[in-house]
Amino acid sequence: MTRCVRCKGKGLCGRPVCPILRSFREMAKLPKLGTKIEGPSPPDVFVGRFGYPKVSAGPLVPADEKDSLDLAYRPADLARMDIGEIVTLRSSMVRSGSMVEVKDARNPGKLLEQAQEIAMSSTPVGTEVTFTKPPRGRLRFDGFMMPSGPTGSVKEMEITTNPSVPRKVDEVVEDSDLKANLAVGELYAAGVEVDGISRLLSLGLLGKNRKLVPTRWSITASDDIAGKRLISQILDRPPVGDYLLFSGERLGNHFEVLLTPGAFTYELVEIWLPRSVWSGDVAWIGADREGPGPKKGYSSLSGGYYAARLALLERLAEMRRQASALMVREISEKYWAPLGVWVVREAAREALSRPPRKFESLEEALADMETRLNTPSRDWQPQSELARGAAQMTLASFF
């Protein structure tokens, strides 16, 4: 931050776009806001964490209804836009909220009940919000969640169109005897998108002991629970027979995904190149792993670890195989503004959706991988057990 104070937008950091100046410019484009805003919520809801167990909760609504007609709200849709377009779109989203106790999810008042209805919808919901005073604030960036614009305290709220609630969502929400992890698993198996599941979990609509869950927690919880369900499905599958290497990129996040024969293990190496959003002038490299067996504790790589793992497990489930997997995520200066964990999930899905290259050995696959990475192997491979050939040996290796 000291560097930003000295720079004041002169470009001393070397980034192609100054996120601070871009924030000011986007906020300057917003129309002057009054105390009443009407428009479709994406649907998107937010539950804060400050003051827990009393938190702010409410839907996001567009500041300018004219700009909401072609609103892109699914992560897969946003991933096809560039970062500037996403920042512009999200800067117009006003975060509304009212203070509630997390346990109020079981017996919600009118405002919370309406927010829950929006969270259950699979399509945008017409919403009219009256604030106690005109929303104010700046464009907010967060490592977990999508950016959002001004905030305001809700006085009244009305839903002006009928939410479109999938039958399975309605069924699971009504089942108050179903444990939260089983509810998440059932919804995911039924094809409900993981960001939609996160909204339901956040608004306290799943499980026996229902309560609000801060949005940043519910995002990782949904990725983690859905991933564990897929792990249980692939453990009895045969391993891949070749060394398969997938490559792809979205929004300045490049992935190399190497599947090798063996029991399921997962390793993620993150490389934040200089001048990418969090790294400053020096690259940062970190790694975390799991398997065989469940992971203990929370990942040192935070929510991105679980988002990338979910994309990997989706591909393995589709292949009906298990594998020892190495994922290398290299983040370049093109990723100049933090957009949320969903970027990791979508970038990994993009890479894994492409046809893989096949190799006969680990060494050949790693050599090919290096041709697309900006970081020399000597800098990142020491942090990878799989790249060092230290993965658990199988019976097949003795024959």
Which distant-in-sequence residues (6+ apart) come within 8 Å of 20 by Cβ?
4, 9
CA distance 353 to 380: 25
Omega before residue 376 within 30° of 0, cis: no
Strands 36-41 and 265-272: what pairing?
A: unpaired
Look-up of token digits 């050949």:
364
Query: 133-166 pLDDT, tens per residue?
Result: 999 987 777 777 888 889 999 999 999 999 999 9
Determine contact, residues 136/95, Cβ cutoff 8 Å.
no
Q: Do residues 392 and 260 lie in contact, with contact meaning Cβ atoms separated by under 8 Å?
A: no
Q: Would you say 128 and 157 are in contact if contact means Cβ atoms under 8 Å apart?
A: yes
Please report the pLDDT score of residue 165 as a whole number: 97
What is the Cα–Cα distance from 271 to 307, expressed in whole angstroms?
Answer: 16
Cβ-contact 30, 61 below 8 angstroms: no
Domain range annotation of the chain: 19-159, 167-234, 243-388
Bridge partners of 61, per DSSP, are: 94
pLDDT of 395: 38
Question: Is 265 buried (19+), middle (13-18) or exposed (0-12) by CB count in 10 A?
Answer: buried
Give the 3-state secondary structure of the chain.
Answer: CHHHHHHCCCCCCCCCCCHHHHHHHHHHHCCCCCCEEEEEECCCEEECCCCCCEEEEEEEEECCHHHHCCCCCCHHHHCCCCHHHHHHHHHCEEEEEEEEEHHHHHCCCHHHHHHHHHHHCCCCEEEEEEECCCCECCCECCCCCCCECCEEEEEEEEECCCCCCCHHHHHHHHCCCCCHHHHHHHHHHCCCCHHHHHHHHHCCCCCCCCCCCCHHHHHHHHHHHHHHHHHHHHCCCCECCCEEEEEEEECCEEEEEEEECCCCEEEEEEEECCCCCCCCCCCEEEEEEECCCCCCCCCCCCHHHHHHHHHHHHHHHHHCCECEEEEEEEECCCCCCCCCCHHHHHHHHHHHCCCCEEECCHHHHHHHHHCCCCCCHHHHHHHCCCCCCCCCCCHHHHC
User: What's the rounded Cα separation, in Å, for the pair 299 and 267?
Assistant: 11
Instruction: From residue 79, give the alpha-carbon distance in Å to each of 61, 95, 273, 276.
Output: 21, 22, 21, 18
- 217 neighbors 49 (Cβ within 8 angstroms): yes
List the beta bridge partners of residue 46: 58
pLDDT, residue 327, reads: 98
Rounded CA separation 248/253 (Å): 9
Q: Which residues of the chain have pLDDT under 70?
A: 1-6, 8-9, 24, 27-28, 65-72, 390-399
In whole angstroms, give the CA distance from residue 154 to residue 100: 12
pLDDT of residue 397: 43
Question: How confident is the model over 285-309, as pLDDT tens digits?
Answer: 999 999 988 899 999 999 999 999 9
